Chains A and B, each alone.
Chain A
Amino acid sequence: MAKKRILIKGGRIIDPDGDFDQIGDILIEDGLISHRGDAQGSSADTVIEAKGKIVMPAMVDMHVHLREPGREDKETIASGTTAALRGGVTSVLAMPNTNPAIDSPEHIELLSQIIKKTAHIEVLICGTITKKREGLELSDITALKKKGALAITDDGSSVDDLELMRKAFQEAKKCGLLVICHSEDKKLSGDGAVNLGFTSTRLGLKGISKESEYKRVARDVELAKETGARIHIAHVSCKESIEIIARAKQQKIAVSAETAPHYFTLCDQAVLGFDTNMKMNPPLRGKEDLEAIKEGLRQGIIDAIASDHAPHASSEKDIEFDRAAFGVIGLETELAVAITELVEPGILSWLQLAKAVSYNPAKILGIDKGKLSVGSPAEIVVISPDQEWVVRKEAFLSKSKNSCFLEKKLKGQVIYTIHQGQVKWSL
């Protein structure tokens, strides 16, 4: 396939690698950024007029449930990666809680075949910590790494057995693999459905305490310190977790963390009215947690923003609240939500945003993405920063529609998504 030359003209270039924030041109040739700055006189097959637009690295979303293999009714790699393009995402880390779970080189092979055939963007592979994610027996972590897994996680549940988790950390350390921690002590969260507190009381629903999250964060941070393993705390939702992570970072423990757009946009009051699209795990927390998440992003304690894109069929959502599935989709809205909630009010600069959505997660996963320097792979998103749009159920490209941002007005529209030097999506 002959790669075309693309010229992105006159945009505001945001490159977190080197804190570059200037108006200029970017020339793309053979899938790479070949020139940055003034490209006057360069010829191109495609010219993108980017005056007044933001040009930044395409997003690297390190927490995405693509559901394939196993639940192709909810999402497939094809549909999920199409949705990703619309949202400005060109790399995703696919969570391994599929059916079968990605717990062996064979299952990685199976997944890789589907990715090769159907993915529209780069789908990165993550293995499980334990076989079938049962928390009983370790997966062959070294074999997973050899077969191409960039990380391991039992996301959806935590490994309760401390000894087993210690072994997993030791194994991961040995082969240099990242461990992504879903932090939840099921003994404490039980069959709760919403944040424990006045909201759970008002709704008459069982609560999920913050303790069930941050105590597990503390345990895993302690284990990381002890074993030297590199860990990443998934979907941080509460103030106490951030405090633990901040202390760990001060102690130079190899820990990074992510949060999801709903945690810096919504608080538990959004659940009043029993909208199951407001049900996710961890649950939406209190107002002070929401503020702490924003502050954690601002200070860089939380490294990354990831969608925790969790598609569910309407039959799993249009049921009684306590029986409804946890999780929301997010690939198509995350960038706009982050712009609306973080950049617009001045909590994050564009550079900080670019770090959180691309540069940092790329670094955590050890991939050469999230940059716009000359020679970098052309993974680029062009954003119209002032363009407003409303999230509509019908408009989603994802197979599932369980968004917590339905009918929300957002600012910032992705107008071009470039992957491997080609325009893969444009408005």
Chain B
Amino acid sequence: MRWKRKDLLDLESLSLQELEYILTTAASFKEVTGRQIKKVPALRGKTVVNLFYEPSTRTRVSFEVAAKRLSADVINIAAEVSSVKKGETLIDTGKNIEALKADIIVVRHSASGAAAMLARHLKANVINAGDGWHEHPTQALLDIFTLREKLGRIEGLKVSIIGDIAHSRVARSNIWGLTKMGAKVTLCAPLMLIPPGIEETGVKVTDDLDQALSEADAINVLRMQFERDEAGAFPKAWEYFKTFGITEERLQKAKKDIVVMHPGPINRGIEMSSEVADGVNSVILEQVTNGIAVRMAVLFLVAQAKNGKKANSN
């Protein structure tokens, strides 16, 4: 197949073929990251701008490393130093960045749809690095990549996503990606943190952690963001850990080789115990490593999507 998308905004609209294509390309980049010189000239002369309206060191650094390993120039713009506060609109900011001849804009924003809006108004490639509660496609891609690397397949796997589904873009992207690739997904959370209608994606929903763990080949444990609890709807942190926290004791009832993932940063003692986070089942650090390969693949692919004439090779 040919990659045609100028932007990567979500996983919901991707076809199975497109998902596979990104993962295959990511595998090639993983090999590159294992070399002594971990850098290839694929995006030499290109400028990648990380436009981050929310602080996120992990994702920003991952994109930065990925872009640099593709030999692109990287500019980081954090919301507090841009002109956001002076009332410039997102589109204006985007157009100004484009006027600096940026080729790819990686955007993180607290508003759902922010990346889609930029993509509609800009010629530059736009990669969604997380928009509101909507999607975080590269995080889900690296989760799926890691899972496939560990277990050899996605189709038929039972994956439980545990935590605040309602406010999680990571959950949404994982749900779309995993279900498209044939995994059986169970969501586990206090029912107030399950968003309405989510069953229509084909997932199962439970508030019983033991049930979510019992048959799972893998679990993806979401970060609980208590600071987001405007309505006071969340349980208290200790309460949450008691009911939904992943502990070694609870994992004893699960499959022995269950894969434990977490998008980070972990709240130790809230979503999972330290023993689990650092335990044999945890692939949390591999996720970080794989994140670079996946983001290299995404940067590389969207950069190709601009049309041009065919040159002679050989």
Contacts and interface: CB of A to CB of B under 8 A. Distances in A.
A–B direct touch in complex (beta carbons closer than 8 A): yes
How extensive is the interface on chain A, given as a class? 20 to 34
Interface string A310-336: 000001001111110000000000000
A322 B198 contact: no
B116 A274 contact: yes
Given A318-B91, A320-B117, A322-B132, A205 B196 contact: no
A204 B197 contact: no
Given A319-B90, A320-B109, A196 B196 contact: yes
A198 B200 contact: yes
A318 B118 CA distance: 10
B182 interface: no
A319 B135 CA distance: 18
Contacts of A207: 196
A203 B89 contact: no
* Best-surrounded residue of B91, B117, B169, B200 (most CB of chain A within 10 A): B117
Contact of A204 (B117, B121, B132): B132
Nearest to B116: A274
A273 interface: yes
A197 B117 CA distance: 22
Nearest to B133: A204
A274 B113 contact: yes
Nearest to B121: A318
B134 interface: yes
A387 interface: no
B114 interface: yes
A190 to B, nearest CB: 9
A201 interface: yes
A415 B44 CA distance: 59
Given A202-B12, A203-B134, A204-B169, A321 B196 contact: no
Nearest to B231: A190
A197 B12 CA distance: 17
Contacts of B117: 274, 318-321
Contacts of A322: 111-113, 132
Interface string A61-92: 00000000000000000000000000000000
A318 B92 CA distance: 10
Contacts of B45: none
A200 interface: yes
Nearest to A321: B113
B34 to A, nearest CB: 35
Contacts of A204: 112, 131-135, 169, 172
Contact of B197 (A201, A318, A319): A201
B265 interface: no
Interface of B: 12, 89-91, 109, 111-114, 116-117, 121, 131-135, 169, 172, 195-198, 200
Interface of A: 196-205, 207, 273-274, 315, 318-323
3 A-B pairs closest in CB distance? A198-B197, A274-B113, A204-B134
27 contacts: A196-B196, A197-B197, A198-B197, A201-B172, A201-B195, A201-B196, A202-B172, A204-B112, A204-B131, A204-B132, A204-B172, A205-B112, A205-B132, A205-B133, A273-B116, A274-B117, A315-B89, A318-B89, A318-B91, A318-B121, A319-B90, A319-B117, A320-B113, A320-B117, A321-B117, A322-B113, A322-B132
Given A200-B195, A204-B131, 14 more contacts: A196-B196, A198-B197, A201-B196, A201-B197, A204-B172, A205-B113, A205-B132, A207-B196, A318-B91, A318-B121, A320-B113, A320-B117, A321-B112, A322-B132
